[in-house]
Structure 1
Amino acid sequence: MTSISCGIDFGTSNSSVAIGTGTAVSLVPVEGEQVTIPSALFFLRPNNEAYFGREAVNMFFERESGRFMRSLKRVLGTSLMTQGTAVNNRHMHFNRIIGLFLTNLKERTDAYAGADVENVVMGRPVHFVDHNPAADDRAQEELKAIAQQVGFRHVEFQFEPIAAAFAHEVNIQGEQLAIVVDLGGGTSDFTVIRLSNRYIRKADRTADILASTGVRIGGNDFDKELSLSLIMPEIGYRTTYGEKNIEVPLHPFHQLAEWSKVNFIYTPKALMQTRQILHQSHDPGRYARLLRVLEKETGHALLAAAERAKIVLTAQVEHQALFDFIEDDFVLTIGRNQFEVSIQEEVRKISAAARKCLHDAQVKPEAIDLVILTGGSTEVPVVQAEFKRLFPQAAIADENKLSSVGLGLAYDSRNKFN
């Protein structure tokens, strides 16, 4: 019987699975007919029944009673993994929460394959945690343990940008020197690699991989900076209060600007503090909006509005962002130029990480034949412009932005396990 293996791209924002059997590699429908699924869960009250992906997102925005969670990948390697969190007044560890999401992926993979798939190559960023090798190693071990708990007997890992390169390699005649630019929700990763369709079944690609680098910046950070720069000031960010003109506490706004932290702001202490400051606020109209967000627990809707603005501004130069969940007729006009200014430091760091990859590989930009763009954040015009500026002579490949990592992991799994 032909062995079946799979690759799982457990992403910060979206996830995908592909299986490899013999010479064939195919994406698994992981939500209905869709081959990608938002990395999101919704725990419905009162029994904490878990829902996943688009269904979870829809339940949250339809105001079902429960707890919505996203960006779980960013918890790996941090103290939150052991601390856990309250889910509808019940304490739950993150290994169980992530395990539920991976269990859903495995069940769909097994159903598609018609067999119990025991072999998996999991994608991982070059760095789960920047500048902390111990936390980085811990994050991989945590993810491996969860994958084994949900039923995978043999678990290997591959850097996500290398996997993306493998997905594109099948179409490459001759040999090309490529740089993979993998900009996900939580990280940006880069690999300089020699590619050829002649190399597809090579078991050891060490000599072809010249360098890999990464930085913990991604699309979620674009959402955060857009929110803090252009949205949060309209709900009281950096306003002042009291006789001494003290700046309001910034902590609640920063938590409301991050998918992985927004749930932690809904506390009696935060509500009490916000109500007390509102009485002394120098801008009560705006600051009262913060109180409404906390009282109604609409932080995810606030973040979703920022994400929506980012997406719309990839195609349009201006966006009318509606915040009627805070206040009737509350609309902000957000321009692409404003957005690009808000993320310029993040784009600079991403560009620096790409240049470091070239330096580590001892390759000059003009030697690159192919730039492989993968991950949703590569859609952002200022990001595309930066990489076209860095590699003006290279060809650009950007098909299958959201599923190329999963496909490449399946190619890798086929080589590792078959």
Structure 2
Amino acid sequence: MPASSRPSTPGAAQGFCAIDFGTSNSAIAIPSGGDQPMRLVPLEGEHLTMPTAVFYCTDADDLPPGAVQPRSTGRQLELPRTFGRAAMKAYVDGYEGRLMRSMKSVLGSGLIDQTTEIGGGMGVKYLDIITTYLRHLKDGAEKAGGQPLRQVVMGRPVFFVDEDPVRDAQAQASLEQAARAVGFDDVAFQFEPIAAAFDHERHLDHEELVLVADIGGGTSDFSVVRVGPSRRAVLDRRSDILANHGVHVAGTDFDRRVSLAAIMPTLGLGAHGPSVLGQPPKPVPSKVYHDLSTWHLINTVYAPPRVAELQAMDDFYANPVHHQRLMKVVRQRLGHALIGQAEGAKIAVADGGHTDIDLQAIEAALHQPFDDAAAAQALADDLARIQRCALETVQMAGVQPSDIGALYFTGGSTGLKRLTDALAATLPSARSVRGDRLASVAAGLGLDAARRFQHKR
């Protein structure tokens, strides 16, 4: 079970909490003072979860609603910013600034310590963006709970980085660094699917083996856990965790697949250049399309040297319209809006329907039909990888598929019927149980935090 070092001073009076820092959405739980040990903090109005998004405002004379002035940190350059739904709205409404989403995806990558431009010649490190977001969560929770928070259980995926334990450890270390930077002295980690198992367990009146499928924006994580009413009060549950496994494929990858299949071809993906001296035409270079379809890479396309490079590639296109459309997307910074359209199309066809992707922002009357058959083709490889991972987890636990009593779904991407049907088919004897897609991990992390920290208070 993952944990950290350097706990706080024994006996110090302090509050505790649990944070589910997700690729797409986040939540925080604090002690409730009531019948239940923990409660989720409303983060935006009555919403108990908040999109993991920060919008840096670069026009001080035209700030979007809800803009937060930065704390005085001694740094020369600090910008007002908005968070969550307000950040997404500021971007859509066209305020000057920079939207950052899916920040969790950079943990364990070479980007984490790099500085990215946010406008006006100013830059910020990716790790500082994560720190800023965690501070916003903590501030809101401290206000709601009426006391400082110094102890935290942070959720983490089974693997931040597939098949690379060194980078995986670096990812957790970076997240711990951010947590300590906002004032947490005692930082522990718990696997997100294990937390979901704790949330499932509180409703049980019998013992069983559960395969938790936690499929969010960045990772698909699985755990086989022994749960039951007699085990709820046990602090050390390591013997009940039979297997953990995961794969770095989930909701944002689905968005990327949809974008590449349905949207990027209208900008030239898959097209060819002109024939030169009778030679067969070469494919249009594809890297820019993959970057525009990957949430945390979109902004790299807008760097001035990259824009100049793309502009100089006009003779790579046999159809000049493709290049014109691409350059409009790049110059007007429409990448996030397009990947948002891909995400919307994914959701629209989730139950077997069809949609028409509106691309009029690129060109008048431009649109692209997308239906369940196209989604099935686009997502087939990713769904197969997730299914294999689920079965491998059961095998790693040393049990048979028929021994699994329940398949517990949590995470935003389990709203995709095609995905949950595929997983249910791999374990036909297990009953399917649906937790709160966005909040069950946070609720389970809260239970874990109460078990760890209540006796220290």
The normalised TM-score by structure 1 is 0.97
Question: Quick one: distance in 1 between partners of 2:316 and 2:135?
Answer: 50
Question: Quick one: distance in 2 between partners of 1:349 and 1:41?
Answer: 31
- Corresponding residue for 1:233? 265
Change (3 A) 1:9 1:280: closer
Aligned length, in residue pairs: 418
Query: What is the CA distance between 1:258 and its match in structure 2?
Result: 0.3
Question: Quick one: distance in 1 between partners of 2:161 and 2:102?
Answer: 14
Question: Quick one: distance in 2 between partners of 1:230 and 1:391?
Answer: 32
Quick check: 1:64 aligned with 2:95?
Answer: yes
Query: What is the CA distance between 1:320 and its match in structure 2?
Result: 1.0
Quick check: 1:108 aligned with 2:140?
Answer: yes
- Corresponding residue for 2:111? 80
Quick check: 1:16 aligned with 2:27?
Answer: yes
- Corresponding residue for 1:321? 357
What are the equivalent positions in structure 2 for 1:377-416 lying under 5 Å apart?
377-416=413-452
Query: What is the CA distance between 1:280 and its match in structure 2?
Result: 5.0
- Aligned partners of 1:227 and 1:303 also within 8 Å: yes
- Aligned partners of 2:390 and 2:423 also within 8 Å: no
- Aligned partners of 1:5 and 1:21 also within 8 Å: no
Question: Quick one: distance in 1 between partners of 2:402 and 2:14?
Answer: 42
- Corresponding residue for 1:139? 171
Quick check: 1:49 aligned with 2:80?
Answer: yes
Query: What is the CA distance between 1:332 and its match in structure 2?
Result: 0.9
Question: Quick one: distance in 2 between partners of 1:40 and 1:122?
Answer: 18
- Corresponding residue for 2:16? 5
Query: What is the CA distance between 1:196 and its match in structure 2?
Result: 1.0
Query: What is the CA distance between 1:316 and its match in structure 2?
Result: 4.8
What is the one-letter code of the residue matched to 1:377? S
What is the one-letter code of the residue matched to 1:310? K
What are the equivalent positions in structure 2 for 1:18-417 lying under 5 Å apart?
18-20=29-31, 23-46=36-59, 48-88=79-119, 89-242=121-274, 243=276, 244=279, 245-417=281-453
Which string of whole-angstrom CA distances, capped at 9 and with x for unpartnered residues, describes residues 25-79 of structure 1? Answer: 2111112211000000100114521110000000000111100110100111111
What is the one-letter code of the residue matched to 1:93? K
- Aligned partners of 1:183 and 1:375 also within 8 Å: yes
When structure 1 is superposed on structure 2, of 245-254 and 99-108 the one drifting more is 245-254
Query: What is the CA distance between 1:21 and its match in structure 2?
Result: 5.1
User: How high is the sequence identity, in percent, across the aligned residues?
Assistant: 36
Which string of whole-angstrom CA distances, capped at 9 and with x for unpartnered residues, describes residues 238-285 of structure 1? Answer: 212242422222111010000010000112333333333324521222
- Aligned partners of 1:180 and 1:191 also within 8 Å: yes
When structure 1 is superposed on structure 2, of 339-348 and 284-293 the one drifting more is 284-293
What is the one-letter code of the residue matched to 1:331? H
- Aligned partners of 1:20 and 1:411 also within 8 Å: no
When structure 1 is superposed on structure 2, of 132-141 and 267-276 the one drifting more is 267-276
What is the one-letter code of the residue matched to 1:287? H
Say which SS state the counterpart of residue 207 (structure 1) adopts: helix
Question: Quick one: distance in 2 between partners of 1:280 and 1:162?
Answer: 50
What is the one-letter code of the residue matched to 1:230? A
What is the one-letter code of the residue matched to 1:412? D
Query: What is the CA distance between 1:297 and its match in structure 2?
Result: 0.8
Say which SS state the counterpart of residue 143 (structure 2) adopts: helix
- Aligned partners of 2:37 and 2:450 also within 8 Å: no
- Aligned partners of 1:187 and 1:216 also within 8 Å: yes
Query: What is the CA distance between 1:3 and its match in structure 2?
Result: 6.6
- Aligned partners of 2:351 and 2:418 also within 8 Å: no
- Aligned partners of 2:273 and 2:316 also within 8 Å: yes
Say which SS state the counterpart of residue 238 (structure 2) adopts: coil
Question: Quick one: distance in 2 between partners of 1:147 and 1:266?
Answer: 30
Question: Quick one: distance in 2 between partners of 1:415 and 1:348?
Answer: 37
When structure 1 is superposed on structure 2, of 22-31 and 8-17 the one drifting more is 22-31
- Aligned partners of 2:14 and 2:150 also within 8 Å: no
What is the one-letter code of the residue matched to 2:153? V
Query: What is the CA distance between 1:16 and its match in structure 2?
Result: 0.7
Question: Quick one: distance in 2 between partners of 1:3 and 1:314?
Answer: 45
Question: Quick one: distance in 2 between partners of 1:77 and 1:280?
Answer: 35
What is the one-letter code of the residue matched to 2:162? D
Structure 1 alignment gaps of length 5 or more: none
Which string of whole-angstrom CA distances, capped at 9 and with x for unpartnered residues, describes residues 201-260 of structure 1? Answer: 211101111000011111000011111122111110121224242222211101000001
